[in-house]
Amino acid sequence: MRYQVAALIVLATALAGTALGAATLVSPPPGARLTTSKPTFTWTLPANEESKGVFVSGSPDVEPGGGFLEVVAGGTFANDEHQWSPSSPLYAGHYWWLVQSSDRLTSQIRYSVPSDFTIPASLSVLPVSTVRSTYLRLLAIKVRWKANVHSLRVRLRVLRKRKVVWQRTESEPNVLGQTGSRTVSCYLPHTIKRGTRLTLQVVLRAGGVKKTRSLLVRAP
C-alpha cells in the first residue's frame, strides 16, 4: 500500500510538472507593427507539448479555458506545426494571437498567453481617369485605389482657380486584395463655359491615411 501511494505521488508530481508547459510565441513579437497583411506566425513548445492550433482575434478577451471569445482567423493542426500563415489577408487593425497545444501524455489542452500586433492602414491611389461628354455636359470621373481597410471616404472637388464649383463625398466599401473603383458623374453649373480649364482634386481617407491627387480637366 505504501508503495502504491508513493507511486501515485510521483505520478501526480510528474503530471503537475507537464501541466506547466505552454507555447512560447516567437513572431510576430509583442507590439509588432507589420508591413504585410499575411504575416507568418511562429512559436516553440516544450518537448511534452504538441501544437493543435493558432488563432487570431481582434480582442484580447479570452474564455475561462484560455481560448479567444472571438476569432477572426485561425488554423488547426494534426502534425504539430510550429509555423502558420492565414489563407486570407488580414485587414488593418490591432490583433492578438495565441497557440493551442496539448500534453502528449495526458492530452490536456492549454493556451499560450495572447500576444498583440498591429497592421497599419495602407492606401494608394491609382491614376484617375476622366471622360467628357459635351452632348450631356457631363464629366465622368473614375477613381481607383488599393487599400487594406474595410471602407474609405472619397472626396471629389472641381475648382475654377481657387473656387469650388462642384464637390461630392462618398463612403466606399473595400475588399482586401482587390482594386477598388468608383465612377462619379459630375454635372457642372451652366455658367461655366465649355472648354474652361479646371482642377479636379481627389482625396481619399482610410484609417488615418490621406492620399491626394490633382489633375487639370476641361469643362464639357
Mean pLDDT per 10-residue section of the chain, whose length is 220 residues: 39 38 92 96 96 97 95 95 96 98 94 97 96 93 97 97 95 96 95 95 96 96
* pLDDT for position 22: 83
Nearest-angstrom CA–CA distance, 36 and 57? 17
| Full-model pTM | 0.82
* pLDDT for position 37: 95
Contact predicate 165/189, CB 8 Å: yes
Contact predicate 152/175, CB 8 Å: no
* pLDDT for position 92: 98
Q: What angle (nearest 5°) sits at the alpha carbon of residue 72, between those of residues 54 and 98?
A: 30
Q: Which amino acid is at 183?
A: T
* pLDDT for position 5: 35
* pLDDT for position 42: 98
Helices (H) and strands (E) in the chain, counts: 1, 17
Domains and CATH numbers, the chain: 2-119 (2.60.40.10), 123-218 (2.60.40.10)
DSSP for 3-51, written as a single string = HHHHHHHHHHHHHHHHTT---EEEESPTTEE-S-SSPPEEEE--TTEEE
* pLDDT for position 107: 93
User: For the segment 178-209, what is each residue's pLDDT rounded down to a tens digit?
Assistant: 999 999 999 999 899 999 999 999 999 999 99
Q: Are strands 115-119 and 32-33 parallel, antiparallel or unpaired?
A: parallel
